[in-house]
Structure 1
Amino acid sequence: MVAASMGAKVTIVERSGMGGSAVLTDVVPSKTLIAVAESMNRSVDSTDMGVSFIAADGVSKTVMQANLKQINERVLHLAKEQSADIRRGLEAMGVTIMIGTGKMLDNRTIEVDRGETKEIIKADAILVSVGAHPRELATAQPDGERILNWTQLYDLEELPRELIVVGSGVTGAEFASAFNGLGSKVTLISSREQVLPGEDSDAAAVLEDVFERRGLRVLSRSRADAVERTAEGVVVTLSDGSKVTGTHCLVCVGSIPNTTNIGLEAAGVEVTPSGHIKVDSVSRTSAPNVYAAGDCTGVFALASVAAMQGRIAVAHLGGDGVRPLKLNQVSANIFTSPEIASVGVSEADLASGKYQGDVIKLSLRTNARAKMRNVNEGFIKIIARKGSGTVIGGVVVGAGACELIFPIALAVSQKLHVDDVADTFTVYPSISGSIAEAARRLHVHM
């Protein structure tokens, strides 16, 4: 769309539909599913606020129940609708869409296999954005019925009674949280000391406490060696020989870039040992005229980063003003319940000596708006550069963290001082008020 707005003649070669995995099989579907679970969690928690569910007879209590078939139908409908919206937007801008499989013959030529016919496209520049697919274990092959990868969840018609999730990274933690909220009995198998390895340790601790309170079992320091189907469901064999049984198993052990057999070698594009395309800070590959963006580059597996990489590539190609990708300004959100959002420098960066900074963490338990909404867990954390007071990082844990991280991200990207944040009016009562208060406590007395 950016290239078309600059006057370029643009052709998209795509196998399935517009939006890629972010829209069709990953972000939009999973976050829609998570939104349903979050709605159920809020309803369950509302009993503490004086709200209860009573049956029509006024006596017996009603029980909330998730209709997974109906939920999944809505999930897939929304994904298709979003994809169609993107397609309409592209076509309105004059972009040509070719449904087929593309393969580069050189750094200016693409062969498109459209099934019955093959076509050749000549281009001044090529942007490779082929994404990635779920990694599978040889001893845990998905069958789409009992052993699943995350793209197959939306084919289920009944809620898994006992779901085992293998892998406690972002995807595993999100789905474990979601299905726990929907009513499944969930066991999360984590090979690491804590869930969400590599994320803020305070945030991971809050999430583990919430998991425990909601009856979600976490098996830490446990590695799944094999997953097999049984007459009743599945059995997961751990590396110590012990076994975990359930009705279904979701395997979330990372992803593999879709970079094989697309002509990268013929075009002179270098890849890493993991198969990811090597790119620089303006999305250029090793081949002239060839750029790459998204999960296939292995930079950050985030839709926002993929989009930014693409915009930077097109700006650089078109000679427009371009700012190189700055990974220390990327904000990310984990859609567990509660959500975990982060941006910039982390406390782990401070501990390693990479940066010097001051940290303030405010619990949301003291926030008036949080109390009104019965939010009992979560916090705001701001990191400022030692001495100067410039905001260099932050973490938000709580409902709506994906929205609340934006002002901190703005402060990081614009190099705002903590006083700039503290002196900006916030609404009272609001969760964002705690962002200003945290900044206020980082004030450097002159």
Structure 2
Amino acid sequence: MSATYDVIVLGSGPGGYVAAIRCAQLGLRTAIVERESLGGICLNWGCIPTKAMLRSAEIYHYMRHAGDYGLKVAGAIEADLAAIVKRSRGVAKQLNQGVAHLMKKNKIAVHMGEGRLTGPTSLAVKGEKGEESLSAKHIIIATGARARELPFAPADGKRVWTYRHAMTPAELPEKLLVIGSGAIGIEFASFYNDLGSKVTVVEMLDRIVPVEDADVSAFLEKSLTKQGIKVLTGAGVEAIKVRDTGITATIKDKAGTSTTSEFTHVIVAIGIVPNTEGIGLEGLVEMERGFIQIDPYGRTRTPGLWAIGDCTPGPWLAHKASHEGVTCAEAIAQELGNSEVHPHPLNRSNIPGCTYCHPQIASVGLTEAKAREAGHEVKVGTFPFIGNGKAIALGEAEGFIKTVFDANTGELLGAHMIGAEVTELIQGYTIGKTLETTEAELMQTVFPHPTLSEMMHESVLDAFGRTLHF
């Protein structure tokens, strides 16, 4: 069987399926190829189901602290791990079905199976319909990435876990080792700690969540330590011995001393590997560490062949992939003669990052250190949650908001938050950066009261010596 399209998208994650929808909206005959589940890793095994699990842990946390809110809970409070996982999988299934509906609604042909390029504009697909030959004027590679494993301790799903195993655990770890303190590692550390596991986090660099502002890293480490999580920075795991009943890990600390510790389980969260092997890219694209190199619109060096999402340079975030998908689709439509679309290149400095631990973290733009390294003279403002009425009323007075401005122009260079619901607040600053706003516009903006967003205003005011409520 063979078929011809204007565009074929290889991979249906948040980059791929969004690219396909935008192509279809622009009148292009579009197909998508997926080897596993529509929605990709993010929807089925990443962003969404993990947030469902973290929500369960959050509710459990509040139930155990009901007395702080003047409430009484009759009987014992227990976490049902199997029920938590079942709810999480149900959320993923619902959204998977939603993507299938969107494909049908937009008249996008879905080919389930393993896709491999047979040329810059042709694909062979082996799947549920046998072997198919597909061709298109343009092909978008959106194959995503997978968890990087430790060479001396490959994941077995029983004692050594990747994020995927950690989402469908057969049992609650008694003592959990988390290797890596990026978003994935910290979120699972927070989740399992809330449910009662004894958690240790090991990070090779000198601070946890190392891509965040140093003040945020320091605050989070203190908070996690207070919650009972053991944090080891400047440390590395040298060896892991797996047994039927647990693991023995050899950990070298920042002083160079190696010790062995016993754990029941380990989660390896040390980064990702792009899914770019075995799909026929040889000789067609430039790669660096396996990631496909692209221009700001998603073009590779081969005309007609494009790439987006986690198989391309970072940041490796779902919303970045979706944005790239739209940009790529519009650039393709433009090349095919559509004069009504005007794609804009991706500005990576305006991509927000969010970590859904407890407390939450969110940021956009340059950290204070990076701003200074880039040669900016900066003005920095901070405002603590304890100074905000809504935060106190919520019982969430832990955290702060930090803003970084260019001292000479007033340009908003970066914003960094830690505390309740900051993953929802960060978009305000992201819009501000996209609109190239300065401190003047932010100061003149009226923020509603009582809200957590007032702290965003106060942080800006503080950078220029005008804070009102602290």
Q: Structure 2-normalised TM-score?
A: 0.89
Q: 1:270 aligns with which of 266, 273, 286?
A: 286
Is the CA contact (8 Å cut-off) linking 2:117 and 2:124 kept in structure 1? yes
Q: 2:266 aligns with which of 249, 253, 273?
A: 249
Q: CA deviation at 1:429?
A: 1.3
Q: In the alignment, is residue 225 of structure 1 matched against residue 238 of structure 2?
A: yes
CA distance in 1, matches of 2:443, 2:65: 32
Query: Relative to structure 1, is the Cα distance of residues 360 and 387 closer, same or farther in structure 2, using a 3 angstrom cutoff?
Result: same
Q: CA deviation at 1:47?
A: 2.9
Paired residue for 2:384? 363
Q: 2:183 aligns with which of 170, 182, 185?
A: 170
Q: CA deviation at 1:46?
A: 4.1
Is the CA contact (8 Å cut-off) linking 1:206 and 1:377 kept in structure 2? no
Paired residue for 2:349? 328
Paired residue for 2:368? 347
Structure 1 runs (4+) deviating above 6 angstroms are none
Query: Relative to structure 1, is the Cα distance of residues 79 and 36 closer, same or farther in structure 2, using a 3 angstrom cutoff?
Result: same
Q: 2:400 aligns with which of 379, 398, 401?
A: 379
Write the letter of the residue equivalent to 1:4: A
Q: In the alignment, is residue 161 of structure 1 matched against residue 143 of structure 2?
A: no
Is the CA contact (8 Å cut-off) linking 2:176 and 2:267 kept in structure 1? yes
Q: CA deviation at 1:392?
A: 2.4
Which one is further off, 231-240 or 408-417? 231-240
Q: 1:433 aligns with which of 454, 458, 462?
A: 454
Q: CA deviation at 1:443?
A: 4.7
CA distance in 2, matches of 1:348, 1:92: 47
Q: In the alignment, is residue 53 of structure 1 matched against residue 70 of structure 2?
A: no
Q: 1:8 aligns with which of 25, 28, 43?
A: 28
Is the CA contact (8 Å cut-off) linking 2:360 and 2:418 kept in structure 1? yes
Q: Deviations over 1:254-289 (max 9, x none)?
A: 1100100101115x11211x1000011111111101
CA distance in 2, matches of 1:65, 1:197: 34
| SS of residue matched to 2:418 | strand
Structure 1: give runs of 5+ residues left out of the alignment: 56-61
CA distance in 2, matches of 1:387, 1:167: 38
1:1-150 superposed matches below 5 A: 1-55=21-75, 62=76, 64-114=77-127, 117-150=130-163
Write the letter of the residue equivalent to 1:199: E
Is the CA contact (8 Å cut-off) linking 1:392 and 1:415 kept in structure 2? no
Q: 1:184 aligns with which of 189, 194, 197?
A: 197
Q: Structure 1-normalised TM-score?
A: 0.94
Write the letter of the residue equivalent to 2:401: I
Number of residue equivalences:
436
CA distance in 2, matches of 1:444, 1:221: 36
Q: In the alignment, is residue 280 of structure 1 matched against residue 295 of structure 2?
A: yes
| SS of residue matched to 1:264 | coil
CA distance in 1, matches of 2:25, 2:71: 51
Q: CA deviation at 1:299?
A: 2.1
CA distance in 2, matches of 1:329, 1:258: 26
Is the CA contact (8 Å cut-off) linking 1:369 and 1:430 kept in structure 2? yes
CA distance in 2, matches of 1:120, 1:345: 46
Kindly report the root-mean-square deviation, in angstroms, between the aligned alpha carbons of the 2 structures. Answer: 1.6
Q: Deviations over 1:328-353 (max 9, x none)?
A: 11111011111110011211212314
Structure 2: give runs of 5+ residues left out of the alignment: 1-20, 335-340
Paired residue for 2:18? none
Is the CA contact (8 Å cut-off) linking 2:246 and 2:263 kept in structure 1? yes
Q: In the alignment, is residue 258 of structure 1 matched against residue 271 of structure 2?
A: no
CA distance in 1, matches of 2:248, 2:276: 33
Q: Deviations over 1:100-119 (max 9, x none)?
A: 01111111111111167211
Query: Relative to structure 1, is the Cα distance of residues 44 and 376 closer, same or farther in structure 2, using a 3 angstrom cutoff?
Result: farther
| SS of residue matched to 1:145 | coil
Write the letter of the residue equivalent to 1:421: L
Which one is further off, 215-224 or 2-11? 215-224
Write the letter of the residue equivalent to 1:349: K
Q: CA deviation at 1:309?
A: 0.8
Paired residue for 2:412? 391
Kindly, what percent of the aligned residue pairs are identical?
Answer: 29
Q: CA deviation at 1:323?
A: 0.8
| SS of residue matched to 1:381 | strand
